[in-house]
Amino acid sequence: MSDTHPFDPLSPKEIIQATKAVKQLFQGQCPNFRVITLKEPPKQEMIAFLERERLGQSHISRPARIAFVQVIVRADHGANELTELLVDINRDAIVHREVLTGKHSFIDSAYMKAVENACISDERVQLEIKKLKLPEGASVVVEPWAYATDGMNDMSERTSMCWFYMRLLDNPDANYYAYPLDLCAEVSEQLTVTKVYHLPSSENERVRQEARPYDPCKVHSSAMSEYHPSIRPSPRTTTKPYQVVQPEGATFTTQGNLVTWEKWTMRVGFNYREGLTLHDIRYDGRSLFYRLSLSEMFVPYGDPRAPFPRKAAFDLGNDGAGINANNLSLGCDCLGLIKYFDAWHNTSSGEPLNMPNVVCCHEQDDGILWKHTNFRTGNAVVVRSRILVLQTIITVSNYEYIFAFHFGQDASIHYEVQATGILSTAPINIGDNVGYGTVVAPGVLAPYHQHLFSLRIDPAIDGVANSLQVEESHPLPFGDPSIHNPFGVGYTTKSSIVDVEGGLDLDFNKNRTFKIINEAKTNPITDTPVGFKLVPCYSQMLLAHPESFHARRSEYTKHAIWVTRYNDDEFFPAGRHTMQSLGGEGISSTIARRRNDPDCDTSVRNEDIVIWHTFGSTHNPRIEDWPVMPSEKMVVGLKPVNFFAGNPSLDVAVSTQVDNKSSLVDTAEPVVCCSE
């Protein structure tokens, strides 16, 4: 027990203990354990613990190990009942229990498999498939998705949307997204197919009941639409191997989930929903961030025709970035000397379920860190940038997302998101087009959509009480006798500190810069508060109308920056329960409730605050994204501003040929570096 850190995910033993405690509560009821995960200790307790830890006194008292457990049981009235519990593992005690009426758990993949089976074996579905008169050799694939609320139905029970595709090749890895069918079915909670209809296949079409035979002209060459090497022509052979060798081993060390690298220390966490989380991030012993994580992502489609507005995925809240994390050894996702972290999820009966290699940790060379040549002497000093990468990859049906934290020797952090995988497709008549999609193959429409991520930044810049400063660069007035600017070239910075919780926007035209500062700690050289600035990813915010369900359910997508007071239960800016949600539970509703509550403090100045950065991309597909898209990269940065006494990487050793062993391509001779 003493080896477990309060931030460490639950061990298999702890999962078993939690299951046991909960099962006692639901004897005879066969609870479906949706998740058993760590409930991170209250921050106030953790801050005190981290301080004791820092002083070597962590044995004195440790926060309780609490499990958050979500179960579904069939209640007396026959319907499913969602219950969330907190279990104090070591005391074997249920310390909190809450029935969530009207809320849904996240996607149950076993249930979705049952939906798929119920759908494909439904008589009416089989009949409609026959009417399609599909080509010889076709096999139909059903892909159930969660139903994104559109206001057309009662959301109190689950409804699954079944989208239909087909394969023509007899290969389970054939890209069925290349053959979207115009069939659609809805499946009820009870696994009954309640509706079957046909999808619109042109701009003016609407949902219809009448089947149309599948247009054989849609059948196209597999070369256009297949990505799997077993189906593709032989790959190019021009690319020669490129290997990374680290002859003296890795620079980072790990001790359990503690990672130490080049003055950085941090703890790796992982949970079913956020995937990779990072905790207690320090540089040279100084506190920087209490916690960093992806807190939500939303992928709404922009096709207005029913039922496509039901395609809008919360890939964290609905699916779980942890649950859907790839096993990273299977496919050579990382280069060099690699450390993998496993995670533990649970089965529906509450047994521990190992998820191997969900996080990889490795280093990369990132080019030149800094350089100066004294032109007077010709002496050049070059230092190369080594970065530490902590990476995870998720697959959510058709799409993949790569999430990576990069740590620099200059005390910078970058969060890189890459979108790859396969576009979601819909049927379209040959020769047609629509104003909200791209035709990527005969009969295949790739609808416009957005990817909107929320990076949750819980700072602790030299301590927990921080402020958010907004700084802009403005020209000094020209021609104003009271302001000295005789040549019209002067400019200055204007700053204000955000007082209360709210949403804010980016403006590069004013060089608007958001800095998280500690007003109680002043840099003695610059005489300004110590801080870290956000290097944002400039992105279009949600396009859906504010009154739409897309907007009401994804409140965080309204602004690029949010600042809130820290609360132990506020992790998810679209709300705790996103499946078939109705809105009103996200970050702006939370802020509004507090603003309207006279007993609530909404001050975010010199307080324990959280910053949420919304970023992403408006993805209007291009043919180059088909059949699988080259990754599109989105980057967010966090950089020190007047936090240190100078360049934190000043002491990194100069780049030398002895270490680097570069060679000349013509002769394979080693490169001569004058600095040696």
Q: Give the active site residues.
A: 315, 399
Find the shortest distance in angstroms from Cβ 216 to its own copies: 18
Query: Does residue number 91 form part of the binding site for its own copies (CB under 8 A)?
Result: no
Beta-strand pair 275-283/437-441 = unpaired
- Residue from 79, 540, 582, 595 touching its own copies (CB under 8 A): that is 540
Closer CB to its own copies, residue 78 or residue 331?
331
Query: Does residue number 511 form part of the binding site for its own copies (CB under 8 A)?
Result: yes
Cβ of 618: how many Cβ atoms within 10 Å? 15
Find the shortest distance in angstroms from Cβ 333 to its own copies: 6
Q: Provide the mask over 433-462, with x wherever binding to its own copies is found by CB under 8 A and - wherever it is not.
A: x-xx-xxxxx-----x--------------
Rounded to whole angstroms, the Cα distance separating 30 from 87 reads: 18
Find the shortest distance in angstroms from Cβ 124 to its own copies: 24
CB of 449 within 8 A of CB of 302? yes
Q: What are the C-alpha distances in Å from 259 to residues 59, 268, 411, 458, 653?
A: 20, 7, 15, 19, 22
Between residue 256 and residue 315, which ones bind its own copies under the rule CB under 8 A?
262, 300-306, 309, 312
Between residue 567 and residue 626, which ones bind its own copies under the rule CB under 8 A?
618, 620, 622-626
Closer CB to its own copies, residue 29 or residue 260?
260
Beta-strand pair 253-255/258-261 = antiparallel
Omega of the bond leading into 135 within 30 degrees of 0 (cis): no
Find the shortest distance in angstroms from Cβ 624 to its own copies: 5
The helix (H) or strand (E) run that includes residue 129 is helix 123-132
Q: Which residues contact 167 (CB under 8 A, 6 or more apart)?
A: 138, 139, 141, 174, 176, 179
Compute how many residues bind its own copies; rule: CB under 8 A. 181
Which of the ranges 186-194, 275-283, 419-427, 596-604 carries the binding residues for its own copies, by CB under 8 A? 419-427
> What are the tokens at 314?
């919360």
Between residue 630 and residue 669, which ones bind its own copies under the rule CB under 8 A?
630-631, 639-657, 659-666, 668
- Residue from 57, 194, 349, 675 touching its own copies (CB under 8 A): that is 675
Between residue 327 and residue 386, which ones bind its own copies under the rule CB under 8 A?
329-340, 361-363, 365, 367-382, 384-386
Closest alpha carbon to 446 in 431, 465, 433? 433
Find the shortest distance in angstroms from Cβ 225 to its own copies: 8
Find the shortest distance in angstroms from Cβ 372 to its own copies: 5
The helix (H) or strand (E) run that includes residue 401 is strand 399-408
Closer CB to its own copies, residue 278 or residue 411?
411
Closer CB to its own copies, residue 89 or residue 148?
148
Omega of the bond leading into 307 within 30 degrees of 0 (cis): yes
Between residue 386 and residue 415, which ones bind its own copies under the rule CB under 8 A?
386, 393, 395, 397, 400, 402, 404, 408-412
Closest alpha carbon to 336 in 259, 459, 249? 249
Which of the ranges 30-38, 462-470, 509-517, 606-614 carries the binding residues for its own copies, by CB under 8 A? 509-517
Between residue 152 and residue 181, which ones bind its own copies under the rule CB under 8 A?
172-173
Burial 255-283 (b: 16+ CB within 10 A, else e): eebbbebbbbebbbbbbbbbbbbbbbbbb
Between residue 515 and residue 534, which ones bind its own copies under the rule CB under 8 A?
523, 525-528
Find the shortest distance in angstroms from Cβ 538 to its own copies: 4
User: Cα 229 from chain centroid?
Assistant: 28
Rounded to whole angstroms, the Cα distance separating 288 from 457 reads: 10
